[in-house]
Amino acid sequence: MRIKEPYNKQIRWLLEGDPAIRYQTLRDLTDADSKAIEAEQAQILKQGWGKRLIDLQQENGTWSNALYSPKWTSTFYTLLLLKRFGAPADEHIIRAACLLLDRGFYAPDGGINYWKTWKQGECCVTGMLLSMLCHFQMHDERLFKMVDYLFSEQMADKGWNCERYRGATHSSFHTTISVLEGLWEFEKAFPEQEHIATVQKKQDEGIEFLLQHHLYKSNTTWKTVNANMTKLVFPPRWHYDIMRGLDYFQEKNLNKDARMNDAVALMTKKQTVDGFWKLELKYPAKVFFDMEKIGQPSRWNTLRALRILHWWDDIE
């Protein structure tokens, strides 16, 4: 196995981490063969963080005996975290939990709604659930309804905002990235679907919304919209930040755009003198366990920063 230069030290450190870290490091930052990568992915639910989460699953298939709340120990956010780990798609216990989130919660507009007092879908939740169901290969015709719902919720500035039904007129970074990730997972799951060109077009439009804001700025004052968007966070939960945006860009292998420069430069400057990236923020709420400590070098953030820079240095 050859480790990609010039980050030998960092990659060797990553390969000493949890199976989820090792799997994504082998996949994204080395020339390891497919069998080695698949073997490491298979360990995600058998060791470390992934196994700890699986061991906490209840007999009825849920976590915390709850679907969406409490954050971050509900079934929804546990599955979202397992998806970010890269957990295998063929695990029946995960697929069974996905079915609990997928059945009986479709609003008349096609969106997902876990609240009895609501009469419409929730755009952020629909985007996140779409990404999970597609990743875990839950191929259900209702996924297409979710996509149609997300199309219908797109705003005039080509992004999305879950507060649109309350009168919001400007898109949200948080909602937009959740929808984009959902559409991207759908595109990968259904590449031959007849309307996939529209799915790609909607992503291009949402990407343009982020680029017009240089990924974290007001496009009228050019000030940072929210300081938390510039901090290095994992897991992001439903929140947007520059690394989440750039990681989506690198996975899609987008062409270089000058409007990305500020975000890439800001992320790069956060590298420590030892060559790593720290965990700078956690979103408050109950968790089953902590993976990393604020202020300490973060394998998650170092992994993501390196694959973003690998993409950035390779594109024109």
Q: How confident is the model at residue 274 (pLDDT cuts 50, 70, 90)?
A: very high
| Per-residue pLDDT tens over the stretch 83-117 | 999 999 988 899 999 999 988 788 999 999 998 88
Residues 251-272 have a mean pLDDT of 97
pLDDT at 28: 97
| Per-residue pLDDT tens over the stretch 39-63 | 999 999 999 999 999 999 999 999 9
| Per-residue pLDDT tens over the stretch 276-294 | 999 999 999 999 999 999 9
pLDDT of 316 above 60: no
Residue 139 or residue 252, greater confidence: 252
Q: Above pLDDT 70, what percent of the chain?
A: 98
25 phi, psi to nearest 5 deg: -65, -50
pLDDT at 5: 61
> 0.85 exceeded by the pTM?
yes
Residues 26-34 have a mean pLDDT of 96
Asked whether the beta carbons of 80 and 132 are under 8 A apart, the reply is yes
Rounded CA-CA distance 62/244 in Å is 27
Residues 219-231 have a mean pLDDT of 97
pLDDT of 314 above 70: yes
pLDDT at 2: 52
- DSSP states of the chain as a string? -PBPTT-HHHHHHHTTS-HHHHHHHHHHHB---HHHHHHHHTTTTTSHHHHHHHHT--TTS-BTTBSS-STTTSHHHHHHHHHHHT--TT-HHHHHHHHHHHSS-B-TTS-B---TT--S--HHHHHHHHHHHHHTT---THHHHHHHHHHHH--TTSS--TTGGGT--S--HHHHHHHHHHHHHHHHH-TT-TTHHHHHHHHHHHHHHHHHTTTTB-TTT-SBS-GGGGS-BSS-TT---HHHHHHHHHHHTPPP-GGGHHHHHHHHHT--TTS--B--B---S--S--SS-TTSB-HHHHHHHHHHHHHHHH--
